[in-house]
Amino acid sequence: MTRTSTPVVDSIYARVPWCRRDVLNELLDLAIEIAREGREGRRIGTLFTLARADAVLAHSRPLILDPLAGHAPQATSLFDANVRGTMKELAQLDGAFVVDEDGTVRAACRYLDASVEEIEIPFGLGSRHLAAASMSQRLGVVAIVVSESAIVRVFHGGELIAEVIPELWLFRRHLQPLLPGPVAEQYAEDLTIFTPEDRDSSPPTDLNHSSYEACHGHDSDARR
Q: How far apart are CA 147 and CA 195, in angstroms?
A: 17
Domain assignment present for residue 1? The answer is: no
| DSSP conformation class of 203 | P
Q: What does the pLDDT look like over 58-114, one tens digit per residue?
A: 999 999 999 998 899 899 999 999 999 999 999 999 999 999 999 999 999 999 998
CATH number for position 102: 3.40.1700.10
Domain assignment present for residue 223? The answer is: no
Sheet holding 159-166, edge to edge: 60-62, 105-112, 96-99, 46-50, 142-146, 152-156, 159-166, 191-196, 182-188, 209-213
In DSSP notation, 6-65 reads HHHHHHHHTT-TTS-HHHHHHHHHHHHHHHHH-BTTB---EEEEES-HHHHHHTEEESS-
Q: What does the pLDDT look like over 152-200, one tens digit per residue?
A: 999 999 999 998 887 644 444 345 566 667 777 676 666 667 777 765 5
Whether pLDDT at 33 is above 70 = yes
Domain assignment present for residue 218? The answer is: no
- What is the number of structural domains in the chain? 1
Q: What does the pLDDT look like over 114-157, one tens digit per residue?
A: 888 878 888 888 899 999 999 999 999 999 999 998 899 999 99
Q: What is the mean pLDDT of residues 3-12?
A: 70
Domain assignment present for residue 34? The answer is: yes
- The model's pTM is 0.74
Q: How far apart are CA 64 and CA 138, in angstroms?
A: 24
Q: Which residue range is the domain that position 17 belongs to?
A: 6-213
